[in-house]
Amino acid sequence: MTHFVDVPDRPPSEERGISSAGRIEIAVRSASCDRFPARSAPAVVVTLPTFRRPDHLTKTLDSLLAQATTRRFAVVVMENDAEGRAGLEAAQPYFENGRLEGLVLVAHERGNCSAYNAGWQTALRHYPVMDYLLVIDDDECACPDWIERLVRTATATGADFVGGPQRPVFEGGHGDTVARHPVFTPHYETTGRVPILYSSGNVLIRRRVLETMGAPFLDTAFNFIGGGDSDFYARSKRRGLTFAWCAEAPVFETMPARRSEWSWVNARSLRNGAISAIIERRADPHMTGRLRRIAKSAALLAVSPVRGARLGWRKRSALVGLYPLQVAIGRFMAEFGLVNEQYRRPEQN
């Protein structure tokens, strides 16, 4: 559903009196873990937000248990359903019996940006020798060498962020016709330095990024529309931080059948366009910036038929060919504050 959304022109670091993560409750801490030497401390911390997906959360945790690495790592699960707490209940045994090292917290302020902020602040506070913070979502499973490949790419490139592909796995095999759509395909294909990232669903972040940017990291104005990660990356890039891609470190994202439907794909495409315009507005909120932004949106709209025809032909899909037009329309919708809050009702996302 599309709502009027007021996203401030300034990021949270420039505002006063904004809570960084809301109330954080540490609910479960791990027992001693004999998987790694006691003398070492975790240099890698995996953060995992969860909201009403307990069954899949256990699959995500199992994929972390199966990691082929000698690096000591901890896991911070951020339960974002403070009332139901089904994720907390599902994750609790993994930590109480010492199979995984780490903790489960309850982020009382609902929204994905709030959950990330809670987890990242907690990781900084509880793991003082952490060098790398990794992010995976509760509808994803990591490949067995996910941690190892992300860390190795960070070491080889020296980048502050390293992203990886999120491979869609559609339930019931309904996604064959849409799997090639831009909302499901990675932005890059090869490993190495890249200009910027767009998603937090599979990413490594160096500790110095969090220390440089400061809390709150993600702006909670994006809690229900998404795009808080893209906004964070854009602000980080302006601070001189760098990005890389690791094509060999995929996660596999379970896609409900509804995500193969026209209504969902259309809403996500329009939202992508809206978010791009919002982020540009925040980078330059003045009248000259708005004029440039509108001119860019008009240019994208004008060329969208040609770009769409080429894209649709290349992907052999008329649905894919509509994407440039949808992005351009979404950008204009953002000028009037009309943004789809896809995360407001997660059961429909």
Rounded CA separation 181/320 (Å): 5
46: phi > 0 → left, psi -120 to 50 → alpha, else beta; which?
A: beta
Inform me whether the pLDDT recorded for 267 exceeds 60. yes
Distance between CA atoms of residues 67 and 99, nearest Å:
12
Instruction: Give 103-144 pLDDT, tens digit per residue.
Output: 999 999 999 999 999 999 999 999 999 999 999 999 999 999
How large a percentage of the chain has pLDDT more than 90? 80
Asked if pLDDT for residue 34 goes beyond 50, the answer is: no
Kindly indicate the confidence band of residue 345, based on its pLDDT and cuts at 50, 70 and 90. confident
Assess whether pLDDT exceeds 50 at residue 4.
Answer: no
Tell me what pLDDT residue 205 has: 98
Reported as a pLDDT band with limits 50, 70 and 90, residue 300 is very high
CA neighbor of 201 nearest in space, from 186, 180, 221: 186
Q: Is residue 338 scored above 90 in pLDDT?
A: no
How many alpha carbons lie under 13 Å from residue 68 in its C-beta half-sphere? 5
Q: Pseudo-torsion of CA 90, 92, 95, 99, nearest 10°?
A: -40
Mean pLDDT of the chain: 90
How does strand 202-206 pair with strand 132-136? antiparallel
CATH number of 2-258: 3.90.550.10
- C-alpha to C-alpha distance for 225 and 194, rounded to whole angstroms: 25
Tokens of 120: 């990242």
Distance CA 281, CA 10 (A): 9
Say whether 254 sits in a helix, a strand or coil: strand
Q: Where are the domains of the chain?
A: 2-258, 264-348
**Could you give the CA distance from residue 206 to residue 209 in angstroms, rounded to a whole number?**
5
pLDDT of residue 14: 46
Tens digit of each residue's pLDDT (9 = 90 or more) over 154-191:
999 999 999 999 999 998 776 777 889 999 999 999 99
H-helix segments, 189-340: 207-213, 228-238, 262-283, 287-315, 318-321, 323-335
- The pLDDT of 279-302, averaged and rounded, is 95
Q: Which residues contact 112 (CB under 8 A, 6 or more apart)?
A: 49, 51, 80, 223, 226, 228, 343
**CA 140 → CA 3, 63, 187, 325, distances in Å?**
28, 9, 18, 30
